[in-house]
Amino acid sequence: MQVTATALAALNTGFRNDFNGGLAGVKPLWEKVATRVTSTRSSNTYGWLGAWPGLRKWIGDRIVKRLSTSSYTIVNESYEETVAVPRTAIEDDEFGIYGPMMASMAQTVAEHPDELVFGLLKAGFTTPCYDGQNFFDEEHPVGDTLVSNMQAGAGEGWYLLDTRRPLKPLIFQDRKKPEFVAKTALTDENVFNAAEFVYGVDCRRAAGFGFWQLAFGSKAALTAENYEAAFEAMTSQRNEEGGVLNVRPTIIVVGPGNRAAAKKLFKAMLVEGGNTNTNYDDVEIVEAPWVG
């Protein structure tokens, strides 16, 4: 194949189509547990996370919920992936083998938000949220009391989440969507000096925590007893004025180590002895290898 500007333009279009096809072939999981927030700067500050929404009877003057003085900031990070195709592969009509590589790169890009969001969820036992405590912690301050949203243990973590609200328990901050770039001009330095056509993708994004009240993390065994205790802890929460928060888990996130236990607990209609499983379909199971 003669390497000309016209031939390269056609090749770039083909590789871009392969890339777009790879993106379309991935069904992300993060959208089940995180809210997308479009960012227009290097970071976003969520000072309002300290003020749980709720109405009160209007007696006297309004009571203003002040934005948190210890505001929570999510800083966007830059990510990239770059691959090279030898010029000789184009000259020898071997470029067809590189189409799947472009699609594979796209798959990695499409799964990256899952990696960020679920990776952060796993790190919630050691990573602070807006109140300065770890996202999963035994001492979240609510008025004059301390509230726990975790169970200690030594096993693989499992996570109950209430995803019914506009702001889900996790935040995916989207600053710059993935952009596919080709450096294939015959005068580009990589072509002239290294005889390589370079293709890359870059983006800017980050993941962060929303309301800890909407999540419960456990490293104890995934049993009916531990699930009931976690369910009770979530649903019994109250605000500083004593009002019910109306939190209820809708999703359980598990890794490979808890997959079988989750299916037994929530997908089996009958339990040992043929009794009705009262937890059947109680929550949706989301299997995410990034929390394993």
What does 229-261 look like in DSSP terms, one character per residue? HHHHHHHT-B-TTS-B------EEEE-GGGHHH
pLDDT tens for the chain, 292 residues: list them.
677 888 888 889 999 999 999 999 999 999 999 999 999 999 999 987 876 665 555 666 665 555 444 579 999 999 999 999 999 988 887 778 889 999 999 999 999 999 999 999 999 999 999 999 999 999 999 989 999 999 999 999 999 999 999 999 999 999 999 999 999 998 899 998 999 999 999 999 999 999 999 999 999 999 999 999 999 999 999 988 888 999 999 999 999 999 999 999 999 999 887 889 999 999 999 999 999 9
Sequence ranges of the domains in the chain: 5-53+67-291
By the 8 A CB rule, do 121 and 159 touch? yes
Which helix (H) or strand (E) segment holds residue 51: the answer is: none
CB atoms within 10 A of CB 162: 22
State the Cα–Cα distance between residues 108 and 171, nearest whole angstrom.
20
State the Cα–Cα distance between residues 96 and 173, nearest whole angstrom.
36
By the 8 A CB rule, do 286 and 33 touch? yes
By the 8 A CB rule, do 151 and 220 touch? yes
State the Cα–Cα distance between residues 278 and 273, nearest whole angstrom.
14
